[in-house]
């Protein structure tokens, strides 16, 4: 499949992003796209300026693109973390999110990434979720949101939100099932040996 025909998933990274919000979906999606290239998808990370990003717990991550040279996306993933808090008041970032909404067929978020979507007006009148500790904040940002406190992720067609941190793994597996097939998602799940069995 020609490079220009490959559909693209972009994961946004920013200072103080929660590591697993981004790296969990990256593990799922990169395993899928590398091992099943015939499906015709690729995934990459990007930041505002193309520079490495230091995450919430000190992990520093390189990126593949800056926003300025970002290829056209088919799916955008906006993670959460403490770094989303200033984004809620950053009109430049919120306008960028709105511009992506106009251009990207499928918008997704992990954890408090949905707060940014709410602040940008993307979740008005729609069902959504976020980290359990931020459910009230989600409702405050837009009282018209149908907040789903008990959902691991909420698929509302062209917009998917997930609960906190590790829930992004579940959401990413759902993405694989939706974009290809449940069988492919099962293959990826087995490949990364994701079978949660909490010790307590």
Q: What are the catalytic residues?
A: 111
Separation of alpha carbons 54 and 119, rounded Å: 24
CB distance 192 to 27 below 8 Å: yes
Pick the closest to residue 134 from 155, 154, 123, 148 (CA basis).
148
3-state secondary structure of 112: coil
> Which whole-number Å values give the CA distances from 140 to 9, 76, 161, 169, in the listed order?
30, 24, 17, 27
Burial 168-178 (b: 16+ CB within 10 A, else e): bbbbbbbbbbe
CB distance 21 to 110 below 8 Å: yes
Pick the closest to residue 20 from 150, 163, 180, 199 (CA basis).
163
By CB atoms closer than 10 A (0-12, 13-18, 19+), residue 156 is: middle
């Amino acid at each position: 499949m020609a490079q220009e025909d490959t559909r693209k998933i972009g994961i946004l990274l920013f200072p103080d992003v929660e590591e697993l919000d981004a790296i969990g979906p990256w593990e799922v999606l990169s395993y899928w796209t590398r091992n099943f290239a015939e499906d015709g998808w690729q995934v990459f990370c990007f930041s505002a300026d193309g520079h490495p990003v230091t995450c919430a717990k000190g992990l520093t991550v390189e990126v593949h693109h800056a926003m300025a040279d970002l290829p056209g996306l088919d799916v955008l993933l906006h993670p959460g973390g403490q770094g989303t808090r200033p984004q809620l008041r950053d009109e430049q970032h919120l306008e960028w999110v709105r511009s992506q909404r106009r251009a990207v067929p499928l918008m997704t978020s992990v954890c408090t990434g949905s707060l940014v979507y709410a602040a940008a007006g993307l979740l008005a009148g729609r069902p959504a979720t976020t980290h359990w500790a931020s459910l009230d904040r989600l409702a405050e940002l837009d009282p018209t949101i149908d907040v789903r406190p008990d959902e691991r992720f909420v698929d509302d067609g062209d917009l998917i939100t997930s609960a906190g941190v590790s829930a992004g793994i579940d959401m990413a597996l759902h993405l694989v099932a939706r974009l290809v097939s449940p069988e492919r998602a099962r293959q990826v799940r087995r490949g990364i040996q994701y079978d949660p069995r909490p010790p307590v």
